[in-house]
Amino acid sequence: MERSPYDKGIRDAIPIVSAYFPISMTFGVIATSGGIPWAITILISAWIYAGSAQFMLVSLALSGTSPTSTVITVLLVNLRHFLYGTTLGPSFMKWSEPKRWLSAFGLTDEVFAVTSSRFITETPLPAYQVTFTYICYISWLLGTIIGASIGKVVPSVVSDILSFALPALFVALLMLGNRSIPYFIAAILGAGLSVLADRLSMESFGIVMGALVGATCGMFLQRVSMNLPTRRS
């Protein structure tokens, strides 16, 4: 029996939710234990909804960085989302304006990874995308609320352990892909360039550069492999 778009959205959201919840709890713990009010912590997750940018925002705010520098830094960290939007934009063109805005707001790294891979083989449906996107969003908010509520009593060593859920999630999403040689080369090259840029203090630019170069090389290798003549016995 064919699954409905809503069922597919729920199924695809489960792995992301399992990682988002502890990570957002960690954010809530770090923010409130550092002195940021409970309501402001929740507002950050509800409004910004970007893991790395939220952690950086809290770090800069607690260190006394000027508001202008903080805003610019957070925008640079989230620069990669521009790339996500331009990649998926053509697939959303036939949707109504409200549905495009709803989907764009929830386009996090993990949501983009799953959405872009699914759109390769299936026609994009608003019912799937909105369901998938906002289950992930709600789990992030709930995790933040719980973390902010217990932030004053949780030891820092526990929050450090919980933060490992994010890289673990990316590894899981990678292994759930098509696992072809071009696919893994693109992933390894993109990750390598991002790590190199991080060592050179070019964090946000490195993510964008790694994504562009990795995806371009992967696409080129995929086309080359498809054009190779098959060997006949």
Give 27-52 pLDDT, tens digit per residue: 898 888 878 899 999 999 999 998 87
Confidence of residue 2 (pLDDT cuts 50, 70, 90): low
Q: What is the pLDDT of residue 227?
A: 67
What gap in Å lies between CA 213 and CA 216, rounded to an integer?
5
Confidence of residue 214 (pLDDT cuts 50, 70, 90): confident
DSSP letter for 163, please: T
Q: What is the pLDDT of residue 152?
A: 74
Q: What is the pLDDT of residue 232?
A: 46
Quickly count: other Cβ atoms within 10 Å of residue 195's Cβ: 12
Query: pLDDT averaged over the chain?
Result: 79
Mean pLDDT (whole number) for 136-165: 80
Dihedral of the alpha carbons of 130, 16, 113, 79, in degrees to the nearest 10: 90
Mean pLDDT (whole number) for 14-36: 87
Backbone phi, then psi, for 155, in 5-degree steps?
-65, 150
Residue % of the chain over a pLDDT of 90: 15
The tokens describing 166, both together, are 């994010």
Question: Per residue in 49-71, pLDDT tens?
Answer: 988 788 878 877 877 777 887 78
Question: What is the phi-psi region of residue 122: left when phi exceeds 0, alpha when psi lies from -120 to 50, beta otherwise?
Answer: beta
Q: What is the pLDDT of residue 134?
A: 93
The tokens describing 228, both together, are 């190779």
The tokens describing 175, both together, are 């292994």
The tokens describing 25, both together, are 């709890």
What gap in Å lies between CA 185 and CA 217, rounded to an integer?
8
Q: What is the pLDDT of residue 172?
A: 63
| pLDDT beyond 90 at 136 | yes
| pLDDT beyond 80 at 25 | yes
| pLDDT beyond 80 at 21 | yes
Query: Closest Cα partner for 189 from 158, 155, 214, 216?
Result: 214
| pLDDT beyond 60 at 229 | no
What gap in Å lies between CA 150 and CA 154, rounded to an integer?
6
The H or E element spanning position 233 is: none
Q: What is the pLDDT of residue 174?
A: 64
* Range list of H helices, the chain: 5-33, 38-47, 51-62, 67-77, 80-92, 97-105, 109-119, 126-150, 156-162, 165-175, 181-199, 203-227
Q: What is the pLDDT of residue 179?
A: 64
Question: Per residue in 162-192, pLDDT tens?
Answer: 656 556 655 665 665 556 777 777 778 877 8
Q: Is 148 exposed, middle or buried (0-12, 13-18, 19+ CB in 10 A)?
A: buried
Confidence of residue 158 (pLDDT cuts 50, 70, 90): low
Q: What is the pLDDT of residue 175?
A: 65
